[in-house]
Amino acid sequence: MDFFLEVLTGGLLAGLMYSLVAIGFVLIYKASGVFNFAQGSMVLFAALTFVSLLERGVPFWVSFAITLLAMIVLAWAIERIVLRPLVNRPPITLFMATLGLSYIIEGLAQALWGAQVHGLDLGISDEPLEVGGMLLSQFDLFAAATAGALVLVLSLLFNKTRIGISLRAVADDQLAALAVGIKLQRIWMVVWAVAGFVGLVAGLLWGARLGVQFSLSLVVLKALPVLIIGGFTSIGGAIAGGLIIGASEKLAEVYLGPMIGGGIENWFPYVLALLFLLVRPAGIFGERAIERV
Amino acid sequence: MIYRESGQFVTTYGADRRIFKLWQQRWALYTLLGFAFAVVPFIGNDYWFSAILIPFLVLSLAGLGLNLLTGYAGQISLGSAAFMAVGAFAAYNFQLRIEGMPLLLSFVLGGFTAAMVGVVFGLPSLRIKGFYLLVSTLAAQFFVTWVLTQFGWFSNYNSSGVITAPPLVIAGYDFSSPAGRYLLTLGVVTVLAFLTRNIVRSELGRHWMAVRDMDTAAAVIGIPILKTKLLAFAISSFLLGIAGALWAFTYLGTVEPHGFDLSRSFQILFIIIIGGMGSILGNFLGAAFIVLLPILLSNLSANFLAGVVDPGQLENLQKIIFGALIIFFLIKEPSGLARLWQLLRERARIWPQRF
């Protein structure tokens, strides 16, 4: 039983790491209806920029600020060059545009900073910590705390600031938001920049875990089932989805894996998400689409 | 005034149903096919066959398969490579395990196996729509690769999971030379392309387009949604399966499950975006573009930028260019190269006038 609890908690904590990536998706989807496949590349780009600056002797917080600035510039460029000309196109077109975007960002990141693997040390020891008889990774706890803080900051931003309220207005109803004088383009830029910031945080944590390298952009594939289960439009859903995926993935690996052979963590979340979808086609917290002819 | 339809009257129902109604178009097609079948095998060299023409044809077929599903039936899929893998491994196993199995029949059976797998992963499409459906196809992508690597039976217990093409012999003729493999691929692709062209203008094709444009409305006018969507998945996977078998047998010769990974699915998706969604010709244009662009880029950089751009950067550059092209096409010409070709033809019809 202790072992079960330990696996479960480990899974839940790992799941929060997935949620971190998923939150970036949700932000963009809510505000602009774009399913942003490039989120993974943004994570890679942010982590690579940060680590390369750090290696060139730039202090931690300065590199953090510079990377954040780079993400804002990136968001501005994306809004100007990609999103604005594609206004009013079907969502599928926008999705494919973000596929192209992910190629550009990946290529750019590697062209600028090289393709070798960088180590990233955030100064958190990965020694297991004993909590209530369970051995938990300190790093996982830190990541979970970061995710919690991030959600807190985001909800403050959304509920207490002027720009956050306009973000929510746009998410609710774009036309009505336009009618009361909210500048849609600026909101999009802001939301992409915020998603870039979330990507930076996710990139630092994932980079410290896996090393900063190309495969970092593949965390997007881990975040997709999380989104599906949580629904595309809810930050709370992204967290809940991450917890469900993380826990069930670890449990399946430990208990189901030996029965059917290892390496199931690649597809298991997807099959799980699929089963969820068959019961609830819009995820747990997603908005149910109402269709009319 | 390059060509005109004036004076060519349709007098029979048969003539009205033709794909190419003008004799100029028909003769252009016959000439092209005659050239591809009878002249190219003699003038092409091994490099052209193995590195350009065969991958071009196979990717066109794969694009054709995906275009039926995404371009005509409107169901977006990121699992194309998985269905190719199923086709390739199924065809390999049919060849291996059944004595005297004809090569072409094993292609067809491989295609049917892929179609069945496609239907299984297409089943959720009735309930799940849009981006949520992506998950189903991604599940196919990861699950199929895992199964093919995990269970040695599929690759006949090869230690690295690699399958090797059987001898390409059809009715006593050996097609193993580069020119032979080219002819085999060309033959299969030509037949399937004609078949597909006819499917999309049949009742089924029109159902697909109705479902793509708005499936609720299609259901209201009495189109059986489940059957239509599942047939789209089945036929699309069938074509992808055969494309996979050709990819393994005539192009690469040996292939492992990871040869059919997610980036291959993306490549096929890019073919139909660049070539044109909902167009048959577009797949060929898109595939030609995807095959030729990397070659063009590496030649350009070798000749003009030697020493300026190092080879490692070339790959990044290629990625950036591909991404930029995708976005460019989506913004400027959402219907792809096929639309450009159509505009060109319309201009040619009225040339030298403009209107």
B211-250 pLDDT, tens digit each: 998 888 999 999 999 899 999 999 999 999 999 999 998 8
Helix axes A235-251, A219-230, angle to 10 degrees: 110
In the predicted structure, residue B305 carries a pLDDT above the cut 80: no
Q: Which tokens belong to B31?
A: 């000439």
Which one of B319, B332, B335 makes the best mutation probe of the A interface by having the most chain A beta carbons within 10 Å? B319
- A148 touching B (Cβ < 8 Å): no
- B354 touching A (Cβ < 8 Å): no
Between the alpha carbon of residue B7 and those of residues A87, B3, B11, B355, the distances in Å are: 45, 11, 12, 20
Q: Strand, coil or helix: what is B164?
A: strand
Q: Return the pLDDT at A133.
A: 64
Quick one: which of B53, B108, B129 has its CA closest to B244?
A: B108
Q: Determine whether the interchain pair B330/A111 forms a contact, defined as Cβ–Cβ distance below 8 Å.
A: no
Which one of A253, A270, A284 makes the best mutation probe of the B interface by having the most chain B beta carbons within 10 Å? A270
pLDDT band with cut points at 50, 70 and 90 for residue B186: very high
Q: Does ipTM exceed 0.95?
A: no
Which residue among B124, B128, B316 places its CB closest to the CB of A110? B316
Quick one: which of A290, A18, A29 has its CA closest to A171?
A: A29
Q: Strand, coil or helix: what is B79?
A: coil
- In A, minimum Cα distance to B320 occurs at A104
CA A248: distance to chain centroid?
A: 19
Q: Strand, coil or helix: what is B78?
A: coil
- In A, minimum Cα distance to B75 occurs at A92
Query: What is the enclosing helix (H) or strand (E) of A137?
Result: strand A134-137
Tens of pLDDT, residues A47-106: 889 888 888 888 888 989 999 999 999 999 998 888 888 887 888 888 889 989 999 998
* Residues 6+ away with beta carbon under 8 Å from A55: A118
Domain B44-350 has CATH 1.25.40: no
- Cis? peptide before A90, omega within 30° of 0: no
Residue A128, phi then psi, degrees to nearest 5: -65, 145
Q: What residues of chain B lie within 8 A of the CB of A224, using their CB? A: 134-135, 138
Instruction: Identify whether the C-beta of residue B145 lies closer than 8 Å to the C-beta of residue B260.
Output: yes
What residue spans define the domains of chain A?
2-216
Measured distance CA(A148)–CA(A127) in Å, rounded: 21
Q: Return the pLDDT at A276.
A: 81
CA A203: distance to chain centroid?
A: 9
**Amino acid residing at B145:** T
Which one of A44, A93, A99 makes the best mutation probe of the B interface by having the most chain B beta carbons within 10 Å? A99
- β-strand partners of A136: A129
Q: A122-126, A239-243, B155-159, B195-199: which has the minimum mean pLDDT?
A: A122-126
Which one of B330, B333, B335 makes the best mutation probe of the A interface by having the most chain A beta carbons within 10 Å? B330
Q: Determine whether the interchain pair B323/A277 forms a contact, defined as Cβ–Cβ distance below 8 Å.
A: no
Quick one: which of B224, B261, B232, B259 has its CA closest to B78?
A: B261
Indicate whether this model's pTM tops 0.95. Answer: no
Farthest CA pair distance, chain B: 66
Instruction: Identify whether the C-beta of residue B292 lies closer than 8 Å to the C-beta of residue B349.
Output: no
pLDDT band with cut points at 50, 70 and 90 for residue B205: very high
- A225 touching B (Cβ < 8 Å): yes
Which residue among A110, A278, A293 places its CB closest to the CB of B127? A278
Q: Determine whether the interchain pair A267/B269 forms a contact, defined as Cβ–Cβ distance below 8 Å.
A: no
Between the alpha carbon of residue B192 and those of residues A3, A244, B106, B188, the distances in Å are: 56, 44, 15, 6
**Arithmetic mean of pLDDT over chain B:** 87
Q: Strand, coil or helix: what is A118?
A: strand
Residues in chain B: 355
Q: Return the pLDDT at B311.
A: 67
CA angle B243, A94, B264 (to 5 degrees): 25
pLDDT band with cut points at 50, 70 and 90 for residue B26: confident
Instruction: Identify whether the C-beta of residue A38 lies closer than 8 Å to the C-beta of residue A199.
Output: no
Determine if residue A116 is left, alpha or beta; phi over 0 gives left, psi from -120 to 50 gives alpha, anything else beta: beta
Measured distance CA(B179)–CA(B36) in Å, rounded: 11
Q: Return the pLDDT at B244.
A: 93
- β-strand partners of A288: none
Instruction: Identify whether the C-beta of residue A129 lies closer than 8 Å to the C-beta of residue A138.
Output: yes
Q: What residues of chain B lie within 8 A of the CB of A34, using their CB? A: none
Q: What residues of chain A lie within 8 A of the CB of B131, using their CB? A: 35, 91, 95, 232
Q: Which tokens belong to B23?
A: 């004799």
Sign of the torsion angle spanned by Cα atoms B214, B215, B217, B218:
positive
Q: Determine whether the interchain pair A104/B320 forms a contact, defined as Cβ–Cβ distance below 8 Å.
A: yes
Measured distance CA(B175)–CA(B171) in Å, rounded: 10
Q: Return the pLDDT at A188.
A: 86
- A103 touching B (Cβ < 8 Å): yes
Q: Return the pLDDT at A11.
A: 82
CA angle A12, A16, A22 (to 5 degrees): 135
* Residues 6+ away with beta carbon under 8 Å from B23: B8
Query: What is the enclosing helix (H) or strand (E) of A171?
Result: helix A162-172
Q: Return the pLDDT at A145.
A: 85
CA-based radius of gyration for chain B: 21
Rounded to a whole number of angstroms, the distance from the CA of A129 to the nearest CA of chain B is 34
Between the alpha carbon of residue B275 and those of residues B282, B286, B325, B343, the distances in Å are: 4, 4, 12, 14
Q: What is the 3-state secondary structure (H, E, C) of B6-34?
A: CCCCCCCHHHHCCCCCCHHHHHHHHHHHH
Q: Mean pLDDT, to the nearest integer, of B168-196?
A: 87
Instruction: Identify whether the C-beta of residue A275 lies closer than 8 Å to the C-beta of residue A267.
Output: no
Residue B3, phi then psi, degrees to nearest 5: -150, 155
Which residue among A89, A95, A225 places its CB closest to the CB of B131? A95
Q: A43-47, A212-216, B16-20, B280-284: which has the minimum mean pLDDT?
A: A212-216
Q: Return the pLDDT at A36.
A: 86
* Tens digits of pLDDT across chain A (293 residues): 677 887 888 888 888 888 888 888 888 888 877 888 888 899 989 988 988 888 888 888 898 999 999 999 999 999 888 888 888 788 888 888 998 999 999 888 888 887 777 777 776 666 676 666 666 777 778 888 888 888 888 888 888 888 888 888 887 777 888 899 888 888 888 889 999 999 999 888 888 877 788 777 777 888 888 888 887 777 888 888 888 888 888 888 888 777 776 677 778 888 888 888 777 777 677 666 666 65
Q: Which tokens belong to A285?
A: 């917290």
- β-strand partners of A130: A135
Q: Return the pLDDT at B64.
A: 94
CA angle B158, B160, B163 (to 5 degrees): 55
Quick one: which of B268, B260, B143 has its CA closest to A273?
A: B143
Query: What is the enclosing helix (H) or strand (E) of A246?
Result: helix A235-251
Count Cβ atoms below 10 Å from residue A96 Cβ, excluding itself. 27
In the predicted structure, residue B149 carries a pLDDT above the cut 60: yes
